[in-house]
């Protein structure tokens, strides 16, 4: 959050406190979302006899859990940014409302002082004391106009006061939600770091030869899954042609090959999986949600057989990973910590489904 926004958010809090007399705005108007319970640091003890296949599966689980926590972090970060923006806007509205209310009070005060200077008699009474018929008729018109203006002034003051009360309530509610989002973000951040640290510790306990064999096992598992997927004849049915925007998205995504995976990163120098797909489609002129789970939930779904380059492939039952299909049974993705953006087989992981940004 920039310095300017922080100043406005701080101002909003002060303004909320300042206008509590308008409607008890200091109380919460929205229940905070439940804060996720931080995951304890996972055990990283190597299996008996260093069974490398068990190590591979253990690492896969740790990095999967880190991906789930990364999605939670990204979602909380997005909510924090949105709520901060709303608080800033509410602060501006409160400032404008206070200025307008002060102006209306000044006008009402001027009218009261004018009546006091005229002896405190209401305009109707002064008219009845007039001996000039023409002046009396003209005065009646002015009195009616004045009464109408006074009524309008009082109504506008009431509306402005009510608006200020509502702004104060909304700001208080948004502040409560913001605090809940910040706690969720911090909890998710802690979980991500715990999972990655556990995975790194597990890998650090392997000898050089074991690491090489582990990498080979990972390649074998991916190859087996891809071969199984292709043997189903799926490519015989996939013949979609990329749209102009899809081509732009693919060009952007493939241009990122070699850049490191960093959880929570949206580019330009590093990415996480959904940060890369979001940036790729932004380069094609289309805005999509931030997280893999949001992209799965909010974007239109298509059958795998109808997949075309640029479509997004969502993996695992919890939609914790996402990649971009580039054609010929391949996809480009940001895999996990310690890896870089790369091309891989589209069927090398369990596919949940496919979504289409355009």
State the catalytic residues.
273, 321, 333
Could you tell me what percentage of the chain is helix, strand and coil, using 3-state DSSP and rounding each to the nearest 5? 65, 10, 30
Residues 6+ apart with CB under 8 A from 214: 52, 55, 56, 59, 203, 206
- Cβ pair 242, 77 in contact under 8 A: no
Question: Vertex 188, ends 322 and 341: CA angle to 5°?
Answer: 30
- Exposed, middle or buried: residue 191 (CB in 10 Å: 0-12, 13-18, 19+)? buried
Alpha helices of 118-132 — where are they, by DSSP H?
A: 123-128
Can you tell me the distance from the alpha carbon of 84 to that of 170, in angstroms, rounded to the nearest whole number?
Answer: 12
Location of structure tokens 């939609």: 319
Give, for 351, the enclosing helix (H) or strand (E): strand 351-355
Can you tell me the distance from the alpha carbon of 245 to that of 241, in angstroms, rounded to the nearest whole number?
Answer: 11
Which structure tokens are listed for 281? 């489609």
Give, for 307, the enclosing helix (H) or strand (E): none
Residues 6+ apart with CB under 8 A from 269: 259, 260
C-alpha gyration radius of the chain? 32
The dihedral region occupied by 274, where left means phi > 0, alpha psi between -120 and 50, and beta the remainder, is: alpha
Question: Vertex 351, ends 348 and 356: CA angle to 5°?
Answer: 115
Listing from the earlier edge strand, what are the strands of the sheet with 342-345? 301-302, 351-355, 312-315, 321-327, 330-333, 342-345
- Cβ pair 288, 278 in contact under 8 A: yes
Q: Is the peptide bond before 170 cis (omega within 30 degrees of 0)?
A: no
């Amino acid at each position: 959050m920039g310095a300017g926004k922080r100043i406005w958010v701080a101002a909003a809090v002060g303004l909320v406190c300042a206008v509590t007399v308008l409607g008890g705005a200091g109380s919460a108007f929205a229940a905070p979302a439940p804060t996720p319970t931080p995951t304890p640091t996972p055990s990283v003890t190597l299996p008996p006899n260093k069974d490398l296949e068990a190590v591979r599966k253990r690492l896969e689980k740790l990095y999967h859990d880190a991906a789930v926590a990364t999605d939670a972090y990204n979602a909380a970060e997005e909510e924090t940014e949105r709520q901060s923006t709303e608080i800033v806007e509410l602060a501006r509205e409160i400032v404008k409302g206070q200025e307008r209310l002060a102006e209306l009070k000044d006008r009402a005060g001027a009218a009261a002082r004018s009546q006091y200077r005229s002896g405190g008699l209401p305009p109707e009474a002064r008219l009845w004391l007039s001996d000039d018929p023409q002046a009396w008729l003209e005065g009646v018109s002015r009195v009616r106009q004045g009464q109408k203006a006074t009524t309008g002034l009082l109504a506008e003051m009431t509306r402005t006061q009510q608006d200020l009360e509502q702004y104060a309530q909304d700001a208080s509610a948004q502040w409560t939600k913001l605090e809940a989002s910040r706690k969720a973000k911090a909890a998710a951040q802690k979980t991500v770091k715990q999972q990655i640290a556990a995975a790194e510790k597990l890998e650090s306990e392997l000898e050089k030869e074991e690491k090489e064999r582990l990498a080979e096992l990972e390649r074998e598992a991916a190859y087996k899954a891809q071969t199984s997927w292709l043997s189903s004849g799926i490519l015989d049915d996939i013949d979609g042609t990329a749209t102009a925007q899809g081509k732009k998205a693919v060009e952007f995504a493939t241009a990122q090959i070699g850049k490191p995976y960093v959880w929570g990163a949206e580019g330009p120098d590093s990415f996480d999986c959904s940060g890369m797909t979001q940036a790729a489609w932004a380069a094609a002129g289309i805005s999509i949600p931030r997280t893999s789970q949001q992209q799965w939930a909010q974007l239109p779904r298509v059958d795998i057989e109808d997949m075309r380059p640029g479509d997004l492939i969502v993996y695992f039952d919890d939609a914790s990973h996402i990649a971009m299909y580039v054609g010929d049974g391949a996809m480009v993705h940001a895999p996990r910590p310690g890896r870089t953006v790369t091309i891989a087989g589209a069927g090398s992981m369990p596919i949940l489904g496919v979504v289409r940004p355009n």
